[in-house]
Amino acid sequence: MKFIIDTNVLVSAILKGREPREVIQFVVDSPNCEWVVSEEILAEYQDVLSRKKFKLTDEVRKEWLDIIDLVTTLVDVRVTIDYY
């Protein structure tokens, strides 16, 4: 099963731990689960994790981006839908 982890869940996992971190850990550890990302999602993760309001050190930000790089599958998005 393929999953996209919302940026808010990722940020909550980094800042608060507990349930959001457990969700991410479940997806990563489950052989039936695949965390998929697109270039746009990766860019959003990087942008949001760089925001000063979260007060993440460069080390923590790099650690999480490295983890994301290791455990995600990059997918090519060929179709986009405009909801507006």
Q: What digits encode the pLDDT tens for the residues 10-64?
A: 999 889 877 888 888 888 899 999 999 999 999 999 999 999 999 999 999 999 9
The pTM for the full model equals 0.85
DSSP H helices in the chain:
7-15, 18-29, 39-49, 58-71
Q: Show the tokens assigned to 77.
A: 């998005």
In sequence order, the β-bridge partners of residue 37 are 74
pLDDT at residue 33, rounded to an integer: 92
